[in-house]
Homo-oligomer: A and B are copies of this chain.
């Protein structure tokens, strides 16, 4: 089903939450991972902070004990040496990333793909940081990266994209290529559009935060974990499929779109969201909620693996 990354060297640039999640993932699938971070405290904590995601990956895959290796260094040249993939997870600061890219470009192997985990920036924002922009791709994971399979890719060099995609697939990710770069890639654009309406529903007093989230998780969220939004309308069109749906119900969708909200995050709306989220959390702190999320994701992913095996 997935390949094996043994013998593949991967450099993780930036050891925050996302960087360490990537590191755990690649190590679990056999890669030799080198971590670099300019901050001594981040480097010192890195290996300990990988213990939990590595344990989750073992639970998920029932797979081999981490075949790969991990090392942490303060020397960027050492981190990049021999790396086929450089996964960059620096803060979302354009001049910081561009400065870092100049250093990386001078030190990396010519064949190495420089992949940015950026969420807020686009390839077009970042590419001017390089002498050879073709070396750069954006490779945006969805949090938490070691559990959620999606990686959104954009770049201009098909060969580099192919090499990166091969590595992600070997680590059991689902790479999706964009044809054109866009702020928020695909997933965060969809998430942002959905959240805008979720905020509108709270702002208008149609339902509270807990009820909106419950409706999502037990309704469309569940179905979207199995079936995409476009395909759902293909099935919603009966025997006429998407063509029938558009012909008969397209106009009513356009009318529905015109009634969707355009809320602002005013003080009153923010207060309603904060109060609603805290009520929905029922006293559970962030770590407890994260643990519940991860347990749910692992159960859902195990179910996928089983149904694929059939």
List residues of chain A with CB under 8 Å of any chain B CB: 120, 142-143, 148-150, 152, 174, 176-198, 200-202, 204-209, 211-236, 238-239, 241-243, 246, 250-254, 256-257, 259-260, 262, 264-265, 270, 273-274, 276-278, 280-281, 286, 289-290, 293, 295-297, 299-304, 306-307, 310
Contact = CB atoms under 8 A, between A and B. Distances in A.
A98 B188 CA distance: 42
A260 B193 contact: yes
Contacts of A253: 192, 195, 265
A239 B242 CA distance: 44
A118 B270 CA distance: 32
Contacts of A254: 264-265
For A178, A188, A193, A252, the residue with the greatest tally of chain B CB atoms inside 10 Å of its CB is A193
B182 A204 contact: yes
A181 B206 CA distance: 7
Contact of A189 (B174, B197, B252, B289): B197
Contact of A225 (B217, B252, B256, B277): B217
A132 to B, nearest CB: 25
19 contacts: A149-B219, A176-B211, A176-B214, A180-B205, A183-B256, A186-B201, A186-B212, A190-B197, A195-B230, A216-B229, A217-B226, A221-B228, A222-B225, A234-B277, A239-B286, A242-B278, A246-B265, A250-B270, A302-B303
A149 to B, nearest CB: 4
A211 B178 contact: yes
B303 A150 contact: no
For A187, A190, A273, A276, the residue with the greatest tally of chain B CB atoms inside 10 Å of its CB is A190
Given A195-B253, A302-B303, A303-B303, A207 B179 contact: yes
Contact of A194 (B193, B304, B307): B193
A122 B273 CA distance: 25
Contact of A207 (B186, B213, B264, B280): B186
A191 to B, nearest CB: 5
Given A225-B225, A265-B250, A289-B234, A214 B174 contact: yes
Contacts of A232: 191
Nearest to A301: B222
Contacts of A286: 234-235, 238-239, 241
Given A150-B215, A179-B205, 8 more contacts: A176-B218, A177-B211, A195-B253, A221-B221, A224-B224, A227-B296, A234-B286, A246-B273
B215 A190 contact: yes
